[in-house]
Amino acid sequence: MKFSLIRLMAASSIMAAAVACGSDSSAPRSSLVGSYTAVQWTTTGASGQTDQLVAGSTLQITLNADGTTAGHMHVAASGGAPAGDFDMAGGWAQNGNNVDFSQNADTFVRDMTFAMQPFTSNVWDLVGNQVFSGTQIKITLRRAP
């Protein structure tokens, strides 16, 4: 009887420890899965600041539970540069409260680290802010409800 009680207590302790040592609740991966759309996107360089959404640029990317991505980015023509369309197919990975993308399309998305910021309960925005070749890109991707 004494041996069984000790075994039961040990098993209970292991189960309690496993539950207590779960993942970081401030950044649950499962809540990141879904479709995201750019709700804020500005570029700032030598010629000033441009609101890319007002200019006609769009970005939609879906984060799948298996770590893959799908979506599309359209960059409006600007300053003599032609418009561009890019496939957002690839992968995504969460590292703490950051998300990184890996894609074949050569865009800032694959070179930028996106920080997770809470928008509402259990919904995250992905926010990027980085300078590339003298142009600062600020973008917020919001998951569709």
Q: Which residue has better confidence, 22 or 54? A: 54
**Contacts for 55 with CB less than 8 Å, ≥ 6 apart:** 76, 78
pLDDT band at 29 (very low <50, low <70, confident <90, very high): low
- pLDDT given for residue 68 in this prediction: 96
18/12 Cα distance (integer angstroms): 10
Unique residue bearing structure tokens 């995201």:
36
| Residue 26 scores a pLDDT above 90 | no
Tokens of 46: 């030598």
> What is the rounded CA–CA span in Å between residue 9 and residue 15?
10
Give the Cα separation of 107 and 109 in Å (integer). Answer: 5
Partnered with residue 40 across adjacent β-strands are 140
- pLDDT of 16 above 70: no
Q: Which of 125, 72, 136 is nearest to 98 (CA)?
A: 125
Q: pLDDT band for 79, please (50, 70, 90 cuts).
A: confident
8 A C-beta contact, residue 29 and residue 101? no
The residue assigned the tokens 């998951």 is: 143
Residue 17, Ramachandran bin (φ over 0: left; ψ between -120 and 50: alpha; else beta): alpha
Architecture per CATH, domain 28-143, reads as Beta Barrel (2.40)
Measured between alpha carbons, how far apart are the two ends of the chain, in Å? 54
Cα–Cα dist 39/123, whole Å: 14
Q: What pTM, to 2 d.p., does this model score?
A: 0.78
